[in-house]
């Protein structure tokens, strides 16, 4: 096992810059998840680590060894693709044994490696089948098995769950976490699904337009997002962002004229500053209070135990969403009073960057 | 069964009958006595079936040698065509190199030029190389048919890049990827292509006629044409010659039909 270090990775396809100076350090045994919207460069970064894309500039080291110019097979990595990429004419056993056979490993060693990996993944009964005779989840396991057999220093996963149905995705997510616990191999995992990122990662790397927006533990990113993009990318439904102006008494005036309390203000924030106030839907509270604001329910999405409620401020205010336990009492057209607990508020400057919490807490 | 179903079945049977009738009559005539087929109305079946025409063909005209020549030329043409077109088609589909798409477009554009137009320049080139009147010369046009390259390329495009990348990560060289991953996947299209080339070279008349001067080197169609010039009246003998020419490829075609159809259909829809 080994850590991974990416320094100033840049990649261009013609005029298009896909990676614009990405630097990441993944510690030995860490499960790092790269997350970002489509086209942010996350798959390109993963493919560069695998050696399937050549970097325009930058350096990649695995276990302290510079692998930037090494072919994929010499990098000590194994990769699981979104489409599984199993060899259709080979049995599960042959698929898993392929790399070792190419390396002309001893027959006994191949057999024990394949059967060992199959036992870990609970696919011993499938070894003689061809990929076409497997379900999506089974194919996924075989693809992981093929990676395990190589005993890589680093696992690379490229959106491995996106082809599975919702139920299977949840199960496989759990299995990925368990597998990482068992093997302890350094893992770089790419996804556009923030739930996967939040549940699997030791650390999340949020990428946008080929740049890192923030790196941190899931909790850090959820509680202290570096900017509006990260704040809204993680968390479902996404964080509400309400434009406001700071007042002289340390409150924030929303565009419709109503005012809300902010956390204790520091002198660093001058009255009149335009800010964006962020609050996660799950942090809004229903209930009359002196500082509660009235909102009209425009739409209720009932999810069973929970309901996502879309609200419109009376007048020309912002649309916001909040999430409550669904007791059936919320109906469209009703007006409710909402509290915005100051401790749960996030403040962002005009450029979208988070104001340091120390500045207002 | 509905009336519509019956109509379609009857129409299909009629078309099949119309298609196969000349072949059946060819077979029937080959067993007739000399002059029997020239009667009016022509008989459908031989009055006294005999293998005399086949005996004459093999003993007097030595058609066995031409049969062997044809088998040799067609087999070599098929093997050589596969050796050249499969890697070429694969490279055009899956490997990145400068000028790849431009070269391929140029090749495809050349498909519209009739083969006959190239025959004279090709003949002059081969003459300069000293390959006229040799099987090497007869095989040249089959080496890397553009259609074959096109066929293999189109099929290779349906192979996911990720599968090849997985093999690269697994440590396979480009040659190993072609041999151990791509070729097995290409099996249906290889059978199809082999059949096309074999049939094409087996039935080819024009090029062997131009390039082969020595009668001993003649392939079946050329030998049969030479024979028909001398025995233009001998329909029954000619039909026996036609049967000897047609039957091997017909059997081959029917034997490989299952793979051939798979090859033509696979890749047409996303699996």
pLDDT score of B203 more than 80: yes
Q: Which CATH class is domain A240-355?
A: mainly beta
Enumerate the residues of chain B whose CB falls inside 8 A of the CB of residue A88: 185
Q: What is the structure's pLDDT at A325?
A: 87
Q: Residue A83 is nearest to which of B162, B172, B184, comparing CB atoms?
A: B162
Q: Give me the mean pLDDT over the A199-226 stretch.
A: 95
The pLDDT of residue B256: 83
How confident is the model at residue A270, as a pLDDT? 81
Residue B269 has pLDDT above 90, yes or no: no
C-alpha to C-alpha distance for B109 and B115, rounded to whole angstroms: 13
User: Inter-chain contact B168–A73, Cβ cutoff 8 Å?
Assistant: yes
Checking if the pLDDT of A267 tops 50, the result is no
Q: What does the pLDDT read at residue A318? A: 67
Contact A317, A258 (CB under 8 A): yes
Average pLDDT, integer, range B119-135: 92
Secondary structure, 3-state, A298-346: EEEEECCCEEEEEEEECCCCCEEEEEEECCCCCCCCCEEEEECCHHHCE
* Alpha-carbon gap: A180 to the closest alpha carbon of chain B (Å): 21
Tell me the whole-structure pTM to 2 decimals.
Answer: 0.82
A99 to B171: CB separation less than 8 angstroms, yes or no: yes
Are A81 and B165 within 8 A, CB to CB? Answer: yes
Q: Name B32's Cβ contacts closer than 8 Å, sequence gap at least 6.
A: B43, B46, B47, B49, B53, B236, B239
Q: Check residue A51 and give left, alpha or beta (phi > 0: left; psi -120 to 50: alpha).
A: left
* CA–CA gap between residue A1 and residue A155 (Å, rounded): 10
pLDDT higher than threshold 60 for residue B223: yes
**Minimum-distance CB partner of B163 among A71, A87, A102:** A87
ipTM exceeding the 0.95 mark: no
Q: Which one, of B253, B254, B227, lies nearest residue B242 by Cα? A: B227
pLDDT at A317: 60
Tens of pLDDT, residue by residue over B78-93, are: 999 999 999 999 999 9
Size of interface A-B (CB pairs under 8 A): 55
What are the residue ranges spanned by the domains of chain A?
4-233, 240-355
**Contact at CB, B169 and A88, closer than 8 angstroms:** no
Q: pLDDT band for position A249 (50/70/90)? A: confident
Mean pLDDT, rounded, for A195-215: 94
CA distance B80 to chain A (A): 25
| Separation between Cα atoms, residue A222 and residue A217, nearest integer Å | 9
pLDDT band, residue A268 (cuts 50/70/90): low
Share of chain A above pLDDT 70, in %: 96
Residue A208 — very low, low, confident or very high, per pLDDT cuts 50/70/90?
Answer: very high
Q: Is the pLDDT of residue A198 over 60?
A: yes
CATH code for the part of the protein at A4-233: 3.40.50.300
Whether the predicted pLDDT of A194 surpasses 50: yes
| Burial of A163: CB neighbours in 10 Å, binned 0-12, 13-18, 19+ | middle
Could you say which residues from 194 to 223 on chain A have a Cβ atom under 8 Å away from some Cβ of chain B?
none
CB–CB of B170 and A88 under 8 A?
A: no
pLDDT average, residue stretch A104-118: 94
Alpha-carbon gap: B173 to the closest alpha carbon of chain A (Å): 9
Domain of B235, CATH number, reads 1.10.3720.10
Is residue B47 in a domain?
A: no
Q: Is residue B177, in this structure, part of any structural domain at all?
A: yes
pLDDT at B42 over 80: yes
Burial class (CB in 10 A: 0-12, 13-18, 19+), A219: exposed
Encode pLDDT of B144-181 as tens digits.
889 999 999 999 999 999 999 999 999 999 999 999 99
Kindly state the average pLDDT of the residues B12-19: 95
- Please tell me the distance in Å from B197's CA to the nearest CA on chain A: 25
Looking at the predicted structure, is the pLDDT value of residue A236 above 70? yes
Q: Which residues of B touch A102 (CB under 8 A)?
A: 170-172, 176
The pLDDT-based confidence of B188 (bands split at 50, 70, 90) is confident
pLDDT band with cut points at 50, 70 and 90 for residue B228: confident
Give CA–CA dist A316/A254, Å, rounded: 11
Residue B214 resides in a domain: yes
Task: Provide the pLDDT for residue B75.
Answer: 95
Tell me, letter by letter, the H, E, C secondary structure of chain A: CCCEEEEEEEEEECCEEEEEEEEEEECCCCEEEEECCCCCCHHHHHHHHHCCCCCCEEEEEECCEECCCCCHHHCCEEEECCCCCCCCCCCHHHHHHHHHHHCCCCHHHHHHHHHHHHHHHCCHHHCCCCHHHCCHHHHHHHHHHHHHHCCCCEEEEECCCCCCCHHHHHHHHHHHHHHHHHHCCEEEEEECCHHHHHHHCCEEEEEECCEEEEEECHHHHHHCCCEHHHHHHCCCCCCEEEEEEECCCCEEEECCCCEEECCCCCCCCCCCCEEEEEECHHHCEECCCCCCEEEEEEEEEECCCEEEEEEEECCCCCEEEEEEECCCCCCCCCEEEEECCHHHCEEECCCCEECCHHHHC
Q: What confidence tier does A157 reach under pLDDT thresholds 50, 70, 90?
A: very high
- Chain B residues whose C-beta is within 8 A of a chain A C-beta are 160, 162-163, 165-172, 176, 180-181, 184-185
User: Distance, in angstroms, between A215 CA and closest chain B CA?
Assistant: 28
Residue A250's pLDDT band, with cuts at 50, 70 and 90, is confident
Identify the three-state secondary structure at position B233: coil
Confidence grade of residue A315 (pLDDT, cut at 50, 70, 90): low
Residue A316: pLDDT band with limits 50, 70, 90 = low
Whether B268 has a pLDDT exceeding 50, the answer reads: no
Residue B233 has pLDDT above 80, yes or no: no
Query: d(Cα B72, Cα A134) in Å, to the nearest integer?
Result: 44
pLDDT beyond 60 at B229 = yes
Structural domain total, chain B: 1
Partner B, chain A 41-100, Cβ-Cβ below 8 Å = 50-52, 71-73, 77-79, 81-83, 85-89, 98-99
Paired with A305 in beta bridges are: none
Q: Do domains A4-233 and A240-355 have the same CATH topology?
A: no
pLDDT (0 to 100) of residue B271:
36
pLDDT of residue B163: 93
Q: Which residue of B has its CA nearest to A132?
A: B271
Q: Model confidence over B50-84: pLDDT tens digits?
A: 999 999 989 988 899 999 999 999 999 999 999 99
Q: How far apart are the C-alpha atoms of B125 and B119, rounded to whole Å? A: 10
Nearest-angstrom CA–CA distance, B161 and B166 = 9
Give the pLDDT mean for A125-131. Answer: 94
Domain assignment of residue B138, yes or no: yes
For residue B178, the distance in angstroms to the closest alpha carbon of chain A comes to 13
Percent of chain B whose pLDDT exceeds 70: 95
Whether the predicted pLDDT of A184 surpasses 70 = yes
Is the pLDDT at B265 greater than 80, yes or no?
A: no
Q: Is residue B248 part of a domain?
A: yes
Tell if the CB–CB gap between A89 and B185 is shorter than 8 Å: yes
Which stretch of A141-155, A309-323, B100-114 has the lowest confidence by average pLDDT?
A309-323
Q: Which of B160, B168, B184 sits opposite A83 (nearest CB)?
A: B160
Range of the domain at B237: 55-269
Mean pLDDT of chain B: 89
Q: Contacts of residue B95 in chain A, CB cutoff 8 Å?
A: none
């Amino acid at each position: 096992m080994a850590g991974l270090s990416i320094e100033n990775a840049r990649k261009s396809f013609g005029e298009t810059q896909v990676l614009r100076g990405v630097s990441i350090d993944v510690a030995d045994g860490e499960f790092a998840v790269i997350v970002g919207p489509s086209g942010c460069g996350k798959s390109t970064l993963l493919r560069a680590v695998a050696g399937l894309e050549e970097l325009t500039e930058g350096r990649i080291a695995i276990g302290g060894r510079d692998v930037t110019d090494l072919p994929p097979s010499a990098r000590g990595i194994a990769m699981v693709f979104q489409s599984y990429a199993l060899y259709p004419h080979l049995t599960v056993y042959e698929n898993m044994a392929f790399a070792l056979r190419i390396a002309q490993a001893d027959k006994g060693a191949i057999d024990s490696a394949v059967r060992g990996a199959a036992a870990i993944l609970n696919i011993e009964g499938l070894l003689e089948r061809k990929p076409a005779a497997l379900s999506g989840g089974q194919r996924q396991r075989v693809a992981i098995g093929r990676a395990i057999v190589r005993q890589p220093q680093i696992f690379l996963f490229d959106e491995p769950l996106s082809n599975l149905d919702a139920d299977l995705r949840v199960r496989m997510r759990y299995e990925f976490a368990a597998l990482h616990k068992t093997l302890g191999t350094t893992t770089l995992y790419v996804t556009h699904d923030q739930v996967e990122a939040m549940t699997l990662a030791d650390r999340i790397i949020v990428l946008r337009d080929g740049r890192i927006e923030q790196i941190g533990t899931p909790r850090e990113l959820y509680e202290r997002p570096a900017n509006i993009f990260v704040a809204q990318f993680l968390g479902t439904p996404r964080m509400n962002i309400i434009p406001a102006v700071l007042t002289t008494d340390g409150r924030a005036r929303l565009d419709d004229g109503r005012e809300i309390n902010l956390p204790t203000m520091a002198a660093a924030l001058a009255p009149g500053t335009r800010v964006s106030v962020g609050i996660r839907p799950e942090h809004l509270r229903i209930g009359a209070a002196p500082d509660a604001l009235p909102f009209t329910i425009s739409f209720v999405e009932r999810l069973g135990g929970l309901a996502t409620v879309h609200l419109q401020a009376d007048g020309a205010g912002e649309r916001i969403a909040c999430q409550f336990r669904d007791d059936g009492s919320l109906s469209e057209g009703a007006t409710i009073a909402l509290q915005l607990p100051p401790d749960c508020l996030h403040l962002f400057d005009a450029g979208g960057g988070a104001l340091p919490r120390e500045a207002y807490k | 069964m509905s009336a519509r179903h019956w109509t379609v079945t009857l129409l299909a049977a009629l078309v099949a009958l119309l298609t196969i009738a000349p072949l059946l009559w060819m077979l029937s005539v080959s067993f007739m006595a000399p002059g029997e087929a020239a009667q009016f109305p022509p008989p459908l079946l031989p009055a006294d079936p005999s293998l005399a025409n086949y005996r004459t063909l093999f003993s007097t005209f030595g058609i066995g040698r031409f049969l062997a020549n044809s088998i040799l030329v067609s087999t070599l043409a098929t093997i050589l065509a596969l050796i050249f077109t499969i890697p070429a088609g694969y490279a055009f589909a899956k490997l990145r190199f400068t000028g790849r798409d431009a070269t391929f477009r140029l090749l495809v554009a050349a498909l519209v030029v009739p083969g006959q137009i190239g025959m004279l320049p090709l003949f002059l080139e081969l003459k300069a190389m000293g390959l006229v009147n040799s099987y090497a010369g007869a095989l040249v046009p089959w080496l890397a048919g553009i259609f074959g390259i096109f066929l293999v390329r189109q099929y290779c495009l349906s192979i996911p890049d990720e599968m090849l990348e997985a093999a690269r990560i697994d440590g396979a060289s480009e040659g190993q990827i072609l041999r151990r991953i791509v070729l097995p996947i290409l099996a249906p299209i290889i059978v199809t292509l082999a059949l096309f080339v074999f049939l094409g070279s087996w039935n080819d008349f024009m090029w062997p006629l131009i390039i082969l001067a020595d009668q001993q080197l003649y392939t079946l169609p050329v030998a049969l044409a030479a024979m028909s010039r001398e025995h233009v009246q001998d329909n029954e003998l000619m039909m026996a010659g036609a049967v000897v020419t047609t039957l091997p490829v017909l059997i081959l075609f029917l034997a490989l039909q299952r793979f051939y159809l798979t090859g033509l259909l696979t890749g047409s829809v996303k699996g």
